[in-house]
Amino acid sequence: MLFKSILIANRGEIAVRVIRACKEMGIKTIAVFSDADKDSLHVKYADDAVHIGPALSRKSYLNIDNIIGAAKKTNADAIHPGYGFLSENFNFAKACFDNHIIFIGPSAQSIAKAGDKSAARQTLMDLGIPIIPGSDDILSSSDMACKVADTVGYPVILKAAGGGGGRGMRIASNKEELITAFSIASGEAKIAFGNPDIYLEKYIEKPRHIEIQILGDHFGNYIHLAERECSIQLRYQKLIEESPSSFVDENFRVKLGKTAIRIAKAFDYTNAGTMEFLVDKNKNFYFMEVNARVQVEHPVTELVTGVDIVQQQILIAAGEKLDLKQEDIHLNGWSMECRINATDPNDNFMPSPGQIESILFPGGPGIRIDTHIHDKYMVTPFYDSLIGKLIVWAKDRPAAINRMSRALSEFEIKGIETTIGFYKKVFKNDNFQKGDIDTHFLERI
């Protein structure tokens, strides 16, 4: 039986995206908001809205008690966590369960399994799935990190155990750099995820970042929705994503997809999830991590498969069987996404908060805008700089590049600095147009 009401424990464009999915399914929506977001679009679009605290994330969007309290106050049947914040937090998923509220995502136990890096690595090694050499446990000190680095060899990369999105990531080429990076990475992780835990991996140079979207229900049924190419990054933050990948042929796609489903089964994973891989130039691939939530870049998969991933999340959480089989999934055309960030490319991509004076959105065939901003919207310094996503669909990659270039030329946001102009340059780059990319591509242009 479908839910009568869902509380969205998030903000920004993903909260708007979930609200829209719910409305199309006839489900009542409940927004939560901080002091900084009282005029945000997700508050306007929701059927009900509950204030959960001041602007600081730890007192609002990371405050489990306040969010559970809002759900109980409004008699919400379920909570959709979106991405970031508490979306991969074991304690939050468990709090939902303890309060008889459905968490729209994997179980707390699956989150714990995937999040326990030591156990996860051992599980995958037992399955014969290639993983990147690194620490088997959370690193409690820079001394411990140095010992692991001496074993696997420099360069190494530090990563946050509590989440992704580039927070808590630092590369170190020697012991001195590692000691400094450890403190910085741990601090970033605590601010972003409320969890300072760090682990370490051998750093693989010039790889591609390719991920597989999976869906799994509570009856043991799994499918994958092919790959996303996420190699266009800056400081480990994805900026441009596309599906499919020009690097992945059908045989490699099948291989990655089967591997992703094996990983999901190993973690007893249900709902939507993403298995992330680093892939070298010879198509050797290494499992990186499970993203136990909907991804920022999910729209590119939706546009080439025709599958509404957010609605599938809701149906699975409500106890429905997957109504799709692997043979139902066919890729149609090509989709690309640009993350529109309120940052200044001419000032080292520093945040650019302030009031938006006016917006002119692009339109026409094959254009999708996912955003929460509007004229006179105040971009605050309290949260992630993502203010929207420009997504295009076309018949093939060259056509998608042309369509994105056209859309970017129409897109205007006045009052703050954004990444729109920067993307115009990227889409004119010869190597980008040829698909000759890796995770360090942006550092070279």
The DSSP secondary structure of 399-432, one letter per residue, reads HHHHHHHHHHHH-EEESS--SHHHHHHHHH-HHH
Per-residue model confidence (pLDDT) at position 120: 80
Q: CATH 3.30.470.20 occupies which residues in the chain?
A: 208-444
Lowest mean pLDDT among 16-20, 200-204, 307-311: 200-204
Work out whether the CA dihedral 199, 200, 201, 203 comes out positive or negative.
Answer: positive
pLDDT, tens only, 419-432? 999 999 999 999 99
5-104 — its CATH code? 3.40.50.20
* Topology annotation, domain 133-202: Dna Ligase; domain 1 (3.30.1490)
- What are the residue ranges of CATH 3.40.50.20 in the chain? 5-104
Residue 174 Cα distances to 143, 241, 285, 416, angstroms: 13, 32, 25, 39
121, 208, 293, 403: which is the annotated catalytic residue? 293
Q: What is the pLDDT confidence band of residue 194, given thresholds at 50, 70 and 90?
A: confident
Task: Output the pLDDT for position 121.
Answer: 78
Alpha helices in 227-334 (DSSP H): 250-266, 298-305, 309-317
Q: Is the model's pLDDT at 1 over the cut of 80?
A: no
Burial class (CB in 10 A: 0-12, 13-18, 19+), 304: buried
193 — pLDDT class (breaks 50, 70, 90): confident
Query: What pLDDT shows up at residue 105?
Result: 98
167 is annotated as an active-site residue: no
SS3 268: coil
Mean pLDDT lowest for which of 63-77, 183-197, 386-400? 183-197
Mean pLDDT is lowest, of 57-71, 155-169, 232-246, for 155-169
Q: pLDDT per residue over 340-376, tens digit each?
A: 999 999 999 999 999 999 999 999 999 999 999 999 9
**pTM to 2 decimals?**
0.90
Task: Provide CATH code, domain 208-444.
Answer: 3.30.470.20
Which residue did the predictor score with more confidence, 110 or 118? 110
When pLDDT is cut at 50, 70 and 90, the band that residue 117 belongs to is low
Q: What is the DSSP string of 183-247?
A: HHHHHHHHHHHS---EEEEEPPSS-EEEEEEEEE-TTS-EEEEEEEEEEEEETTEEEEEEES-TT
| Alpha carbons 284 and 204: distance in angstroms, whole number | 11
User: According to CATH, where is 3.30.1490.20 located in the chain?
Assistant: 133-202
**Residue 325, H or E segment:** none
Q: How many CB atoms lie within 10 A of CB 178?
A: 24
